[in-house]
């Protein structure tokens, strides 16, 4: 039986980027509008919060405990302190932030960090898929993106999935793990119904791709061939992103937002903006790799 429970004591305006950190057994997440980072410890129920110097988009942990943070308008090494985080160094990405801005991202099994950009006006396909490689250099890997969101890989590291919330599609790319190259962009699945669209995503160890359907208040699990295996309704209409975690990696954590909800919708969804723990799916995942660039 699937159980969905709001956990922690933090409500985010636009919660995103859930990442399970096995080193301290906490689920981390960011508030892309509230400029905060938080870590929830399932063992104690406590949540630690850090203020961020700018609006975040996505991130990855590094071997020394620092964070590679993809802010909306820059890449930087970030260090978490007591209640706030500070930028240690900025990384040259070569991106024109007057045209596009960074959004979601994820690290691959080899330690590279992949992230997408989006049209700042949310209309034109001028965003791209980028990769920060092991040498620290940023390369452009995909084009034609309106609103970049979730990024994930299949278990054999031969396919990269990338959600574009603008047209409501999930792309698949052929992925070469050895060289860090993605190509042959194609539509894996469409996910558009009314005002809903695909947002964050994650893979389970059984090969299923879990995708948030923001606006519709549900999750969708796709088979490797693009067919729908199941749909799962959740207690909020605007869930955002997913990550497996917990000691057995069997808890599916889901972030959500209050952003763009009317007063009536907020009253009807008192847990909007909270972190949710979903158990009983019968699936497990793996912790996101560190960035080693």
Among 194, 224, 195, CA closest to 209: 224
Instruction: Note the pLDDT tens digit of each residue in 263-272.
Output: 999 999 999 9
Strand order in the sheet with 74-80: 56-61, 67-71, 74-80, 85-91
Dist. CA 192–CA 153, nearest whole Å: 22
Instruction: Note the pLDDT tens digit of each residue in 30-42.
Output: 999 999 999 999 9
Confidence at 191, pLDDT banded by 50, 70, 90: confident
SS3 90: strand
**If you average pLDDT over every residue of the chain, what do you get?**
96
Dist. CA 40–CA 186, nearest whole Å: 36
Dist. CA 141–CA 208, nearest whole Å: 24
* Confidence (pTM): 0.97
Q: How many CB atoms lie within 10 A of CB 25?
A: 15
Domain ranges of the chain: 3-279
**193 pLDDT exceeds 80?**
no
Confidence at 121, pLDDT banded by 50, 70, 90: confident
Instruction: Note the pLDDT tens digit of each residue in 155-183.
Output: 999 999 999 999 999 999 999 999 999 99
pLDDT of residue 195: 72
Mean pLDDT of the 227-254 span: 97
Confidence at 194, pLDDT banded by 50, 70, 90: low
pLDDT of residue 239: 98
**Tokens (6 digits) for 154:** 């299949």
Mean pLDDT of the 62-71 span: 97
Task: For domain 3-279, give the CATH number.
Answer: 2.120.10.30
Mean pLDDT of the 240-245 span: 98
């Amino acid at each position: 039986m699937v159980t969905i429970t709001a956990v922690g004591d933090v409500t985010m305006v636009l919660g995103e980027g859930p990442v399970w950190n096995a080193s301290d057994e906490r689920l981390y997440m960011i508030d892309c509008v509230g400029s905060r980072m938080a870590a929830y410890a399932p063992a104690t129920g406590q949540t630690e919060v850090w203020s961020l110097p700018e609006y975040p988009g996505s991130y990855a942990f590094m071997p020394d405990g620092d964070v590679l943070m993809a802010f909306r308008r820059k890449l930087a090494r970030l260090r978490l302190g007591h209640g706030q985080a500070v930028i240690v160094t900025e990384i040259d990405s070569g991106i024109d932030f007057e045209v596009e801005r960074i959004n979601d991202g994820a690290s691959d099994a080899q330690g590279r960090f992949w992230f997408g950009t989006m049209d700042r006006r949310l209309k034109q396909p001028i965003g791209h898929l980028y990769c920060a490689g092991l040498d620290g250099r940023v390369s452009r890997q995909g084009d034609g993106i309106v609103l970049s969101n979730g990024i994930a890989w299949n278990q054999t590291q031969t396919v990269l999935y990338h959600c574009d919330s603008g047209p409501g599609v999930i792309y698949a790319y052929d992925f070469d793990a050895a060289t860090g190259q993605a190509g042959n962009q194609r539509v894996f699945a469409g996910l558009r119904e009314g005002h809903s669209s695909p947002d964050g995503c994650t893979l389970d160890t059984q090969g299923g791709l879990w995708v948030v359907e923001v606006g519709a208040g549900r999750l969708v699990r796709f088979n490797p061939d693009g067919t729908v295996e199941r749909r799962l309704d959740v207690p909020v209409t605007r869930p955002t992103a997913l990550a497996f975690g917990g000691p057995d990696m069997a808890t599916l954590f889901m972030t959500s937002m209050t952003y763009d909800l009317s007063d009536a919708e907020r009253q009807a969804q008192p847990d909007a903006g909270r972190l949710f723990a979903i158990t009983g799916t019968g699936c497990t995942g793996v912790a996101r790799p560190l960035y080693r660039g």
